[in-house]
Amino acid sequence: MIDDGLQLVADAAQAQVRIDVVAAWALAGVIAAGILFARLRGRHLAAKIGMSLLALGAAAALLLGAWEERPRQYYKYVDEVAANAEMFRAKGLRLQVHGCVVPGSIERRLGTDEYRFRLRSISRRPAAELRVRYTGLVPDTFRSGAEIIASGRLVGDGGLDVVPDGIMARCPSKYEADPDDGWRCAEPRP
């Protein structure tokens, strides 16, 4: 019976606590410290200093917790991802990968919204390709040769698993590029 209780306490101590629970406790600590601080009025300088430090610590925990919870995304080109694929995969980072859909590479499973295609470097960059998997609706301008940004994570086989609504396609009618700038989806040079 005692061993079961100790195991229960040990499991609870090792469990991850959601950030909103930590934030609620930090906020409760700040409020309690403020109430106690107001009641002490002039007496017990050491107690006031201690409660002030407690309130500052709780506020810092609240702010740091909120800052840590924001999902970080890294904007990279296909060649940058290919060059550092192991690092991105090991860290499980969410990426926004900019590249061009390889002509003829789009595959769609019949009767579903499951897509597979290859994404390659835009011109003026070293040649690199990335396999992409996506389930969901695609933008109207998504097609072979389109310039896109795909948001997702690298997985064990080296492919990019795109999150729902994670594909943005460039609209050529709105953003007419200078034909000599070299930053467009052109056929790769041999």
**Do 55 and 126 lie in a common domain?**
no
**Do 119 and 159 lie in a common domain?**
yes
Note whether residue 138 is domain-resident: yes
Q: What is the pLDDT of residue 157?
A: 82
Note whether residue 47 is domain-resident: yes
**Structural domain boundaries, residue 106:** 73-169
**Do 135 and 88 lie in a common domain?**
yes
- Pick from 27, 42, 69: which residue ends a domain? 69
Q: Quick one: pLDDT band at residue 93, thresholds 50, 70, 90?
A: confident
CA angle, residues 33, 37, 39, in degrees to nearest 5: 120
**Do 61 and 107 lie in a common domain?**
no
**Do 134 and 90 lie in a common domain?**
yes
* Polymer length of the chain: 190
DSSP 114-171: EEEEEEEPPTTS---EEEEEEES---TT--TT-EEEEEEEE-TTS-EEEEEEEEEE--
Q: What is the pLDDT of residue 158?
A: 81
pLDDT at 69 over 70: no
pLDDT at 70 over 90: no
Q: Quick one: pLDDT band at residue 37, thresholds 50, 70, 90?
A: low
What CATH number is attached to the domain comprising 145?
Answer: 2.40.50.140
The number of domains in the chain is 2
Most confident range, picked from 116-130, 134-148, 167-181: 134-148
Query: What average pLDDT does this structure show over 155-177?
Result: 79
**Do 120 and 33 lie in a common domain?**
no
List the end-to-end C-alpha distance of the chain, in Å, as a whole number: 73
pLDDT at 183 over 60: no
Note whether residue 154 is domain-resident: yes
